[in-house]
Structure 1
């Protein structure tokens, strides 16, 4: 079988270099690293925009076992899993339950998103928002996953000041059974979250975050930050109390942030880790061994792919994540809940394929070429 195909910008012969880092291994010792995982849709179902999500549970859980086998924790039911973009809350709750059960069987780490998306779209009162958060917090705790208090579109719309955030989050933290992860997702990932934490200026919003953590440090394991601003993340990281982690969600600048500097490092809760799992695992094992040169050599080639994958409009990165999972053989189709497979163009996905090959992310070049040719033919790119 040939590994040559035609993309919108010209021909490509896949290198077949994707087996180099394919060896699974134990959890990392120097960093905590959660990979935010996607869901695999059932291709036989009506997974169209506005329809309830129908998930292929076997394939979805198999992908999580792939992540655990390489040493990553799973960040479940978060934005990579299409929360707010096709995955409804009943499906998200079932996803958390099933994944947490699988994590116990595999000995894998798991955290899971807590949000307010069981509320209908549109206005909600602060009390309704707090109760929705509390309901999901109880669901995640009952499942046995570490809760991640995700940003809420409802709260972003309803809050009138930083005090509203401090009140709702403070009450949730007081009621939590154990430490949770906070979450700060920037408007590049979700425009409805602009001005989160009560101020459009991230520097002033950071004051609110630091005050919240300072008042409840014993209940905060860390905060996931996804503002795609390396300098801002380092500055916030330096302000956190001892023992509170900064989980980078910066899919543009993750190598330097995880590597760290003389004052500290970020741990990771990243969607890109689900796309670059084998090389990222090899890089983190090199970091565990203190081999910074190998760490840099492995991760540096993944950055152009990540910057393209998460390019504007950033919230459609999930389409690229699933496209790569299909090409790498982790699922049998390129269908997404909510019909989100249409979120990126053939030109974008063709460029993504080039970058994935260059980064050594395709373990079976013949399979990837066969599937990419079929997709490009359907899209009108003659092979």
Structure 2
């Protein structure tokens, strides 16, 4: 295991708030006027095939509830087969990123797949077609509206937009992306009969709520999210950094303050649990992900509404019902605390599993990725996470076909 040495950071008092990942999205331009969209680009050239996996950029059309005008969502699909050879009965895994992230987290992050490998490509090599998206307001899916638009993007927005995306995956009506913008490419024409939904951090929380509301998915996988308690580390970040930005009326806010060294100590603590723990990660990865220039932004409405998302999930949990669910956690996570969390918090992940076992009316399993922090896909034990996800899918008769 390797670690990056940084100056000590204090652990903040517990607040009834939330656990959200730090910036591990695509290269992000956070300059510009308030309310402007967040720009990003994937770290790997679309159309190349590292790890023997083919990629293609795609587009979906979605609506933010209350906004009559559609907006475009950009994604990437991954397949070991040629896309012409993918059949309607081949299973799709749709992956939704967390706050201050983009779809890049699933494909090597800023360090690239040569350093950090690729969660999405490893799943695709197991026979699945994997789809990653930049949710509206993130990365290559700008939500270009007037002032206040960032406050209109909340967890309900993302649940309903995810429903539109899954509907288009089932119908084959999403399109290939041509050039730098959506709207001009041909329809993919592949109507996939089986979709499995996965989400990281708050994307996992929103995926949970999706599974209580809609039953058009064959499986649910949550990565590093809990509804049962708030870890101590993110509480101080929220109070001291996020709330002042919200009070200033900023449409898009950062989660972690920048660091005097050019790297955010807060991000290192939240994302990689350093220096409290020696997580298994190549040293260049946290240095790149947590560089001040790379600290991503999130819509204010999503961050401000996170306590309500937790409450909504707990209230609706019995609605998961027929959807088999895998809850995954990171052993040394300071943002979603488990039994071995280095901040000394209660075992919130264990409480989450117990809540699901008692209340979801579903087939629920759990897995904890060893020696990993909140940025699960950036750690050296990520292949073990892939193996366990694939094994769980096979055990639920959700193997590739």
Question: What TM-score do the two structures reach when normalised by structure 1?
Answer: 0.30
Question: What TM-score do the two structures reach when normalised by structure 2?
Answer: 0.29
Give 1 or 2: higher helix fraction.
1
Structure with the greater alpha carbon radius of gyration: 1
